[in-house]
Structure 1
């Protein structure tokens, strides 16, 4: 059976392409739909259906644009109530894609409309299940997101639904089925997903904590809800966009791809109060950037940090990028619903510097310099990693101020020089840019972060690094 997983690492997202006899189906597409259309064209296939496993919270799906451009029907599972034309399937309803059969299995729990799609090949053999956020590799979908949109859908109610869906709908299926989830490790839609992005259902029954056969419903609910971090603030807004509809990605790209000379860029920033977002790597940003700009580099979990740190999804944004990265920046913003990029700096930072305009910088030190300051007891250190990372191991004396909580703790940073770090330098440069934007200039970043501290054999770990408090 021809099933292709199309994985996008920056948001740990998996879409699926299924094709048979000149007909194709796309499951849970991303916002930018042209790659799916191109893939179908290569197979001389027509996209017949766009299947959605649920109303996604962590990204804006491409179902509307894909349906408009191809004539495909959008399919949701039972109970879905979109504000646009779609097929609302019944439990156990079947759809044909060439010689393949797609069977609807309603699996409420992550959300009420959550649906698993059973893939049946041309010989009638059950091949796999596209599970959305119902079942991940090593985990299951968190049940606390829907209540941010519908208040009476409590996490306990949905967790109970999920327990029943897994026991009554998923676990009775054949062990040799391949599990195709919507996300892998790094997604905020679960808490302990594997780095693997597919597995057999039989192996998941053996290894996934949520599928233990002797687990009671109350035990399941307790374990599922334990340790859930608060969801990113943009999640409910993405859900509503996926339910209500949104602007075409083509219009968003056209609006954002407006090249602005330094004069025009500065004027636009002053007139619109747009956020200046610099998507270059930390090592380039720190050497020189436009004052008051925020750095979130493209080469990591860009979309997730945009969603965590920019509270207003309708915020106008002016972009500073590496040359040739303008469209990619706009698309990756739009993946999580930030549709209001209004232009970019033509010629990038080189053009800004050549114009003679003011630039700002971030001071950085090596881990060797950090060790000297620690030895001299002259370093006030802030660790901007997640609490779980900090609890595992951290620099002795460092305070933990997770990046996503930074704005709540601005008053705690001293007037004298202080040092920040994360795991590898990506998050700490985001933090440094935000602190600088808030007028806190006495910040110093550590090149390579805590990872470099651990890898440097000349730094005595017993003296400077706290062992895990979780062991």
Structure 2
């Protein structure tokens, strides 16, 4: 029996394809199901069942479309109120896919109706457990996504669910979580790329702490999560529309400028230092990397016209694939080409790119101000002396709080800072992007207490 991982690193999630002989089962598929179909074809297997561990909050599921495309049985936890036909499964139910069998285990915590699936062969041997947002690698799924009024209740439930897995599933069983590889659905950072139930007994906080200590620590550690999450559950319960990956309409330089001047969302996908070296004034820089869709989805005004600028058609296609995973389906168009060909008579804007070593030499200047766009808890753990903290997700509403003068903007690695710099960059502002690892600030002696 083979378990293949389908990684979606930009969202910190995994989907799984289980194959045995010519039969396949899919767990928690992402919306771009072509990846799943291609893998099943490579394995020479027919997908007979598509399973969801829960109604997802961080991406639009591909489960409904996949099940319809291959005429597979679609399985969703009982209790989840959805607007489409599916098999609703309860604790203890057995899913029979011939040589592949899965036993349903109700593991509430991440959501009320969350389930895990114990992977069995035809003889009853255990080959793995798909834990969704329950037992993660060295952590557990966050418990505040359903609503703040349920957080404490669900945190206690999460503790008991992970304990139940550890008590009922053999220690050598591989654990296959959906979240925990950078996803904000994880309550705390995870560790490692693989694990077993037995290994989790030594490292998972739900298994190494008593119940109240676990609950207190998890709740105290919860921080903000992407704003687009508010739309995912709604889409997934209603049933996502069929996927459309067709190319957006081309936009010429004159129309591009009209959209920028009208205040529309025009997003430049180029690498952050290329954007800093020359960009159209009024555009936003969201480098197309593993952080792209999370932070664009976090800041994007849901439903607003969105136009992309890319260096190639392939870059635009990659960005669209990322966006449809979070339900941003309608693009207003795209402009493709070298940035100087898109100026339409306007001068390109630019700003400096630097690092913490140079900031060390400049920081005592009366003109220099430092803006830290990390989250509040990151700032409180240690920050550049004198830095003002405005988390990136709050910046649009707090631009008037950005200090005057020459603003050096940083985060933990440079990505969030690059987005912030593009938001601040205007004719009357001077911005410097600190494109550097925050650990270098410690090396330079920049960390202070105020």
TM-score normalized by the length of structure 2 = 0.92
Shift, 1:191, TM fit: 3.0
Alignment of 1:207-246 (within 5 A): 207-212=203-208, 215-216=210-211, 218-246=212-240
Q: Name whichever of 109-118 and 64-73 sits farther off.
A: 64-73
Instruction: Confirm whether residue 444 of structure 1 aligns to residue 432 of structure 2.
Output: yes
Instruction: Confirm whether residue 265 of structure 1 aligns to residue 256 of structure 2.
Output: yes
Q: Can you list the C-alpha shifts for 1:180-238, whole angstroms capped at 9, x where unaligned?
A: 111224211123232313211011112111123x723x333222212210332211211
Change (3 A) 1:98 1:356: farther
For the Cα contact (< 8 Å) 2:18–2:24, is it kept in 1? yes
In the alignment, the residues of structure 1 paired with residue 199 and residue 413 of structure 2 have an alpha-carbon distance, to the nearest angstrom, of: 34
Change (3 A) 1:177 1:308: same
Change (3 A) 1:180 1:368: closer
Instruction: Confirm whether residue 155 of structure 1 aligns to residue 156 of structure 2.
Output: no
Q: Can you list the C-alpha shifts for 1:158-198, whole angstroms capped at 9, x where unaligned?
A: 22322332334553321111111112242111232323132
SS of 1:419's partner is strand
Query: How large is the RMSD of aligned CA atoms in angstroms?
Result: 2.3
Instruction: Confirm whether residue 7 of structure 1 aligns to residue 1 of structure 2.
Output: no
Runs of 4+ in structure 1 over 6 Å off:
none
In the alignment, the residues of structure 2 paired with residue 16 and residue 301 of structure 1 have an alpha-carbon distance, to the nearest angstrom, of: 22
Aligned to 1:279: 269
In the alignment, the residues of structure 2 paired with residue 288 and residue 374 of structure 1 have an alpha-carbon distance, to the nearest angstrom, of: 25
SS of 1:165's partner is helix
Aligned to 1:405: 394
Q: Name whichever of 366-375 and 77-86 sits farther off.
A: 366-375
In the alignment, the residues of structure 2 paired with residue 38 and residue 73 of structure 1 have an alpha-carbon distance, to the nearest angstrom, of: 19
For the Cα contact (< 8 Å) 2:50–2:73, is it kept in 1? yes
For the Cα contact (< 8 Å) 2:311–2:336, is it kept in 1? no
Alignment of 1:108-147 (within 5 A): 108-147=108-147
Shift, 1:249, TM fit: 1.8
Change (3 A) 1:223 1:421: closer
In the alignment, the residues of structure 2 paired with residue 399 and residue 130 of structure 1 have an alpha-carbon distance, to the nearest angstrom, of: 43
In the alignment, the residues of structure 1 paired with residue 324 and residue 159 of structure 2 have an alpha-carbon distance, to the nearest angstrom, of: 34
Q: Can you list the C-alpha shifts for 1:239-268, whole angstroms capped at 9, x where unaligned?
A: 111111222222xx22x5222222343455
SS of 1:211's partner is helix
For the Cα contact (< 8 Å) 1:5–1:14, is it kept in 2? yes
Aligned to 1:387: 376
**Which one of 309, 312, 321 corresponds to residue 310 of structure 2?**
321
In the alignment, the residues of structure 1 paired with residue 425 and residue 364 of structure 2 have an alpha-carbon distance, to the nearest angstrom, of: 27
Shift, 1:131, TM fit: 0.3
For the Cα contact (< 8 Å) 1:315–1:338, is it kept in 2? no
In the alignment, the residues of structure 2 paired with residue 170 and residue 79 of structure 1 have an alpha-carbon distance, to the nearest angstrom, of: 24
Aligned to 1:187: 183
For the Cα contact (< 8 Å) 2:30–2:325, is it kept in 1? yes
Shift, 1:449, TM fit: 5.3
**Which one of 182, 188, 197 corresponds to residue 193 of structure 2?**
197
Q: Name whichever of 119-128 and 365-374 sits farther off.
A: 365-374
**Which one of 326, 332, 335 corresponds to residue 325 of structure 2?**
335
SS of 1:154's partner is helix
SS of 1:428's partner is helix
Q: Can you list the C-alpha shifts for 1:124-162, whole angstroms capped at 9, x where unaligned?
A: 2111100000111111111111127xxxx6112222322
In the alignment, the residues of structure 2 paired with residue 12 and residue 345 of structure 1 have an alpha-carbon distance, to the nearest angstrom, of: 29
Shift, 1:28, TM fit: 0.8
Q: Name whichever of 30-39 and 223-232 sits farther off.
A: 223-232
Q: Can you list the C-alpha shifts for 1:334-360, whole angstroms capped at 9, x where unaligned?
A: 11122221211032524214x434432
Instruction: Confirm whether residue 415 of structure 1 aligns to residue 404 of structure 2.
Output: yes
In the alignment, the residues of structure 1 paired with residue 70 and residue 418 of structure 2 have an alpha-carbon distance, to the nearest angstrom, of: 42
**Which one of 153, 157, 169 corresponds to residue 173 of structure 1?**
169
Q: Can you list the C-alpha shifts for 1:253-286, whole angstroms capped at 9, x where unaligned?
A: 22x5222222343455667x64101121111111
Q: Can you list the C-alpha shifts for 1:365-411, whole angstroms capped at 9, x where unaligned?
A: 45454233224454211122233333333322222222122234322
In the alignment, the residues of structure 1 paired with residue 35 and residue 181 of structure 2 have an alpha-carbon distance, to the nearest angstrom, of: 23
In the alignment, the residues of structure 1 paired with residue 363 and residue 186 of structure 2 have an alpha-carbon distance, to the nearest angstrom, of: 37
In the alignment, the residues of structure 1 paired with residue 288 and residue 411 of structure 2 have an alpha-carbon distance, to the nearest angstrom, of: 17
Change (3 A) 1:49 1:358: farther
In the alignment, the residues of structure 2 paired with residue 440 and residue 97 of structure 1 have an alpha-carbon distance, to the nearest angstrom, of: 64
Structure 2: 5+ residue stretches without partners: none
Alignment of 1:343-358 (within 5 A): 343-353=333-343, 355-358=344-347
Aligned to 2:297: 307
For the Cα contact (< 8 Å) 1:184–1:196, is it kept in 2? no
